[in-house]
Amino acid sequence: ADATVIYAPGMTPLTRVAGRGELRGNSFTFDARRGMVGSVALSRGEVSIPVIAPKGRPAYYRFSASGDAGEMVRVLAQEPLAVLKDSGLQASQFSGKASVEAELMRPNLNVAPQESYEYSGTATFSGLGVDGLFGDASLTSGEGELELFTESMSVTGNATVGATPVQIDWRQRFYGDGEKTKIKMSGVADSATGDFLGVPSRQFAQGKI
């Protein structure tokens, strides 16, 4: 009871973990019935090491959690995942509620090179807010889904910017050259929305755009 699980050195560990482990031959599994990652409670957790020896074979860490979106983003923004790297955003800008299911695979070593990690996950979010998404313009009332892969992340959903409902499509690449962040928003805006975003639309058009 109240064990600590380090799934990736440098990331917030799982704490207050309680569950049942089983060593069978050259393999090990652990099923957590409770635990915490930061201030977020786990609803499910699992560690699976199909081959213990020789060292360096894959170890899998899986968990499900629901809670504060900002806290979850803070954990996901830590190395080696670093989902906000090169996006210009900080975890402190996020608020709302989220439910996450994620898997992380890394070699069963005390220290494993970052490029050896693989991960995937899905999340749904509600009441999402992102302060200062575009200058002074903030996103509120976000509802949608996130998909996380080793190479990239995508976020799709609906939200409000100012008083304008918008559809969001955010694509984030973690590796390679060139532009890594693409955020597309579509919706019906008016001149007041342009003022809110700092775009002088009144010079070019009146009414809805």
Partners of residue 165 on adjacent β-strands: 160
pLDDT classification of 209: cutoffs 50, 70, 90 = very low
pLDDT at residue 2, as a whole number = 83
Closest CA to 102 of 155, 156, 51, 66: 66
Q: Per the structure block, which two tokens stand in for 55?
A: 């060292």
Three-state DSSP state, 68:
strand
Q: Where are the domains of the chain?
A: 3-203
The CA distance from 91 to 81, in Å, is: 13
For 161-181, what is each residue's pLDDT tens digit? 888 899 999 999 988 888 889
CA angle 131, 154, 185 (to 5 degrees): 55
Reported pTM: 0.83
Q: Are 143 and 158 in contact (CB under 8 A)?
A: yes
For 74-90, what is each residue's pLDDT tens digit? 999 998 888 898 888 99
Q: Give one DSSP letter per residue of 4-65, joined into a string.
A: EE-SSTTSPPEEEEEEEEEEETTEEEEEEEEEEETTEEEEEEEEEES--SSTTSEEEEEEEE
Q: Per the structure block, which two tokens stand in for 178?
A: 């060139």
pLDDT at residue 14, as a whole number = 94
